[in-house]
Structure 1
Amino acid sequence: MATEITVPALGESVTEGTIGEWLKKPGDAVAVDEPICSLETDKVAIEVPSSVAGVISELKAEVGDTVEVGAVIALVEAGATPAATGENAGRAAQQRDESKAAPAETQASDASQTLSPAVRRAVLEHGIDPSTVKGTGKDGRLTKEDVIAAAKVRGDTPATAPAEAAAPATAPATASTSGRNTERVKMTRLRQTIAKRLKSAQDNAALLTTFNDVDMTAVIEARTKYKDLFAKKHDIKLGFMGFFAKAAHLALKDVPSVNAQIDGDEIVYHDYIDISVAVSAPNGLVVPVVRDVDKKGFAQIEKDIAGFGKAARDGTLTMADMTGGTFTISNGGVFGSLMSTPIINPPQSAVLGLHRIEDRAVVVNGEIVIRPMMYIALSYDHRLVDGREAVTALKIIKEAIEDPTRMLIDL
């Protein structure tokens, strides 16, 4: 008798998700707790494991389908082997033919891997044999970046492939008479949620941004002096984010409205500081939460951030990682941004935007000198945070970065 695999509980207030990718197909063997599909929710992508060991006999949903918590998405013949599925063999073979997600050439060259649509396109475009590339994704899975990196090492240009092979079967490329192509790809649930939340922030909050610039000399000197000792003792690199998180801690403590939020006709003040740190994931920007920043040291903050970054890349962030947060820090500088006006992360009331560091001429003690400078921006909800409070908070952050001793003596 087949065992039903259902959509697990997805967290508070989340009742459904979207099938993002099948990691197994009918006829494939599966172990207990082995993931069979990737499920996208409003906040994160999670993997759904099999509750029994056996063989996948049937898939009950297709990629892109929306499924509710508790819905049956697959059947597993417990204890069966790929060669002994009995009456399910014909049905499994038919489903395999109907749901082939990769061209024959790709399957022949790498029958042991399950490739995502993006990876399959990259494999075709660059003419790479996936069996020759070491995957860096979760469980050694191949990523699009792995394929592109292999193509760069080989020095090849993308292989010419028909438009219909380069695009998903559900969204074929449309070629014009001039030979230019377009491709339609359905937005992921995560991307749709990001779009709705950002637009909601603009519609419902009175957004305003204040700017300042920061001389990064002291922080750079501190990192240069102590980075080796820090890494040796704590087994983590000393980054810039730890400094800004601790500087934000001072600002939020002195200006509590920046760490508060509006709930109906009430203001909710927090006596703790949980900072959401924006990190890049394959499907978009996510904001896991570093909790109790006011109680943690540099090393633990850096470890938390590094762990979230890896989890985001591997697609293993959990709902708990994303829940809460009283303030956000977003670092566009890692991508080369000079200046921006970040959008708050509702229901939070403020977000700090960091940007790239560049040498600029500034006046210090009446002399023109060259210093490593960074523009910083604080976007805030003017319904709750007054201009004076926003400017004060940003100034505290600036002063703490320019004189890190302030963070040690709580000044």
Structure 2
Amino acid sequence: MSTEVRVPALGESVTEATVATWFKKPGDAVEVDEMLCELETDKVTVEVPSPSAGTLGEIVVAEGETVGPDALLATIAAGGAAAAPAKAEAAPAAAESIDIPVPSLGESVTEATVATWYKKVGDSVEADEMIAELETDKVSVEVPAPQAGTITAIHIAEGDTVAAGGILAAMSSGGAAAAPAAAAPAAPAAAPAASGKDVENAPSANKLMAEKGIDPSSVSGSGRDGRIMKEDVMNAVAKPAAAAPAAPRAPVSADDAVREERVKMTRLRQTIARRLKDAQNTAAMLTTYNEVDMKAVMDLRNKYKAEFEKKHGVRLGFMSFFTKACIHALKEVPEVNAEIDGTDVVYKKFVHMGVAAGTPTGLVVPVIRDADQMSFAGIEKEIGKMGKKARDGKLSMAEMQGGTFTISNGGVYGSLMSSPILNPPQSGILGMHKIQDRPVVVNGEIVIRPMMYLALSYDHRIVDGKGAVTFLVRVKEALEDPQRLLMDL
């Protein structure tokens, strides 16, 4: 009796993969979940584990060949390695092997990168104890142990990518009984026949390097044991300017190398970079500026902040004033709260306010839903809650989707003036800046006032200059005379 080895799930919209490396050859004994081969798609590397113990039979798809989803890769014959456990019948057999899968990543998220393993093979864990942390395009996801036991195998190493629903590791519920299974992780490490740096690159990578005339020594490999993958070659091709001056720099490269640090971009940073560039490439983005006298807001805040905090249990900050002022202005200029969908303009009859927040891993934009229905206290509480989640890396994908307009406060970092970039598919973003005392003319006299520059970046495809200027003027008027918010003027 034989078992089929088929292509695992490749992720949404991925229709084919290339067999990069076979770790086993026909006749080799294999254990359950031992890595048999590695596939390469346009985006990620996928490891194929053995579905059963036995002996590897026929290899149907050779290295370098392309296969579709669920295609037959090889067969495994029963027996061989499968007979070995029979000798260990005297060992405790009560231990149950449990797979540790990737937790739910959120709608439309198809893959994640293993950021950190908190446990190693052989470590005991308690139920719900955090054993790993994954990183997606937007958030960090903690992986808890499904029950108490011992980690027996780690299938996905730190820095490697795993598909949604994939298996990260295995554990045993039988404590010390898990020890024999600890040998499983050794297989992937021993898989490359060569030692040291002499590893076999992905066939598709070798082919592309040959076509482009690229020296493999100039390409940094991101695959297992430094193996060069197709994506690594594509990245090298995309940066020819960096390779060109290499020769003139050679005399000082050795000295410079010790003063440089090369760190792979996190998935969050890669996504931020891609989305910001997409925004510039897609939208007809312009920015208009104004300034606001913050004295009225500051006086009102100082007058009521103690009473406000006592009653509502939250501090009265500037963000609630700006949120209210923007909501007020969006009612008059609805195109700033709209988005383009094909040849349609979709006007939002609600305000889901995005509030940009800086975190140690990058900028995220949690969304305050139905902010137009909230009070000052409600807005401050929600901003505080979302801000804490952002700093702790606990935001879910759902909490960062669906925004209709965004506010970004660069002033907390000391920025005096900037041009914020749109958060697609939104058509407007307000940039706040540092409050700075400046001389201004009020009623014919020069006085010192706490002033702030405001910037509105907007998509000129649906927002005209008149609408953008009107929006910013309404925000300015509401902040300089907060009573206008109460009177809806």
TM-score range, shorter chain: 0.7 to 0.9
Query: Are the counterparts in 2 of residues 3 and 77 from structure 1 also a CA contact under 8 Å?
Result: yes
Amino acid across the alignment from 1:409: M
In the alignment, is residue 263 of structure 1 matched against residue 356 of structure 2? no
Shift in Å at residue 175 of structure 1? Answer: 8.0
Shift in Å at residue 371 of structure 1? Answer: 0.1
In the alignment, is residue 279 of structure 1 matched against residue 372 of structure 2? no
**2:153 — aligned with what?**
58
| Equivalent-residue separation in structure 2 for 1:253 and 1:50 (angstroms) | 49
Greater displacement, 232-241 / 354-363? 232-241
Amino acid across the alignment from 2:418: S
| Equivalent-residue separation in structure 2 for 1:278 and 1:89 (angstroms) | 45
1:132-173 alpha-carbon deviations (Å, 9 max, x no partner): xxxxxxxxxxxxxxxxxxxxxxxxxxxxxxxxxxxxx98xxx
Q: SS of the residue aligned with 2:438? A: strand
| Equivalent-residue separation in structure 2 for 1:177 and 1:66 (angstroms) | 34
Q: SS of the residue aligned with 1:356? A: coil
Greater displacement, 349-358 / 315-324? 315-324
**1:331 — aligned with what?**
409
Q: SS of the residue aligned with 1:73? A: strand
Picking from 178, 181, 195, the partner of 1:88 is 181
Mark the CA change 1:272 to 1:179 in structure 2 (over 3 Å): closer, same or farther: closer
Shift in Å at residue 32 of structure 1? Answer: 2.4
| Equivalent-residue separation in structure 2 for 1:381 and 1:4 (angstroms) | 48
Mark the CA change 1:175 to 1:19 in structure 2 (over 3 Å): closer, same or farther: farther
Amino acid across the alignment from 2:380: E
Q: SS of the residue aligned with 2:263? A: coil
| Equivalent-residue separation in structure 1 for 2:129 and 2:182 (angstroms) | 21
Query: Are the counterparts in 2 of residues 213 and 376 from structure 1 also a CA contact under 8 Å?
Result: yes
| Equivalent-residue separation in structure 2 for 1:40 and 1:248 (angstroms) | 33
Shift in Å at residue 28 of structure 1? Answer: 2.2
1:315-362 alpha-carbon deviations (Å, 9 max, x no partner): 111111111100000000000000000000000001000000000000
In the alignment, is residue 400 of structure 1 matched against residue 478 of structure 2? yes
**2:98 — aligned with what?**
3
Query: Are the counterparts in 2 of residues 328 and 352 from structure 1 also a CA contact under 8 Å?
Result: yes
Q: SS of the residue aligned with 1:316? A: coil
| Equivalent-residue separation in structure 2 for 1:355 and 1:43 (angstroms) | 25
| Equivalent-residue separation in structure 2 for 1:373 and 1:89 (angstroms) | 64
**2:382 — aligned with what?**
304
Greater displacement, 30-39 / 302-311? 30-39
Q: SS of the residue aligned with 2:278? A: helix
| Equivalent-residue separation in structure 1 for 2:339 and 2:102 (angstroms) | 33
**2:39 — aligned with what?**
none
| Equivalent-residue separation in structure 2 for 1:388 and 1:209 (angstroms) | 12
Amino acid across the alignment from 2:375: G
Deviating beyond 4 angstroms after TM superposition, the runs of 4 or more aligned structure 1 residues are 89-92
Picking from 391, 396, 400, the partner of 1:322 is 400
- Within 5 Å, give how 1:224-235 maps onto structure 2: 224-235=302-313
1:44-71 alpha-carbon deviations (Å, 9 max, x no partner): 1111222222111111111111110111
Amino acid across the alignment from 2:361: N
Shift in Å at residue 38 of structure 1? Answer: 1.2
**2:123 — aligned with what?**
28
RMSD: 2.0
**2:84 — aligned with what?**
none
Mark the CA change 1:14 to 1:89 in structure 2 (over 3 Å): closer, same or farther: closer
| Equivalent-residue separation in structure 2 for 1:264 and 1:359 (angstroms) | 45
**1:137 — aligned with what?**
none
Amino acid across the alignment from 1:85: A
Q: SS of the residue aligned with 1:87? A: helix
Shift in Å at residue 179 of structure 1? Answer: 8.2
Query: Are the counterparts in 1 of residues 111 and 161 from structure 2 also a CA contact under 8 Å?
Result: yes
Shift in Å at residue 33 of structure 1? Answer: 2.5
**2:315 — aligned with what?**
237
Which runs of no fewer than 5 residues in structure 2 stay unpaired?
Answer: 1-95, 191-224, 227-251
**% identical equivalent positions:** 58
Amino acid across the alignment from 2:148: A
| Equivalent-residue separation in structure 2 for 1:29 and 1:400 (angstroms) | 59
**2:67 — aligned with what?**
none
Shift in Å at residue 312 of structure 1? Answer: 1.2
Amino acid across the alignment from 1:21: T
TM-score scaled by length of structure 1 = 0.78
Select the structure of larger CA radius of gyration: 2
Higher relative contact order (CA 8 A, sep 6+): 1
Which runs of no fewer than 5 residues in structure 1 stay unpaired?
Answer: 99-168
Q: SS of the residue aligned with 1:46? A: strand
**2:135 — aligned with what?**
40
Picking from 72, 79, 84, the partner of 2:167 is 72
1:79-128 alpha-carbon deviations (Å, 9 max, x no partner): x33x5533135668x79x99xxxxxxxxxxxxxxxxxxxxxxxxxxxxxx
**2:268 — aligned with what?**
190
| Equivalent-residue separation in structure 2 for 1:184 and 1:204 (angstroms) | 31
Amino acid across the alignment from 1:204: T
Mark the CA change 1:178 to 1:274 in structure 2 (over 3 Å): closer, same or farther: closer
The aligned length equals 334
Amino acid across the alignment from 1:320: A
| Equivalent-residue separation in structure 2 for 1:282 and 1:84 (angstroms) | 41
Q: SS of the residue aligned with 2:383? A: helix
Shift in Å at residue 178 of structure 1? Answer: 6.5
Amino acid across the alignment from 1:75: A
Query: Are the counterparts in 1 of residues 152 and 179 from structure 2 also a CA contact under 8 Å?
Result: no
Amino acid across the alignment from 1:387: G
| Equivalent-residue separation in structure 2 for 1:191 and 1:278 (angstroms) | 15
**1:155 — aligned with what?**
none
Amino acid across the alignment from 2:122: G
Picking from 300, 303, 307, the partner of 1:222 is 300
Amino acid across the alignment from 2:348: H
Shift in Å at residue 177 of structure 1? Answer: 2.6
Query: Are the counterparts in 2 of residues 52 and 76 from structure 1 also a CA contact under 8 Å?
Result: no
Amino acid across the alignment from 2:325: A
Query: Are the counterparts in 1 of residues 153 and 182 from structure 2 also a CA contact under 8 Å?
Result: no
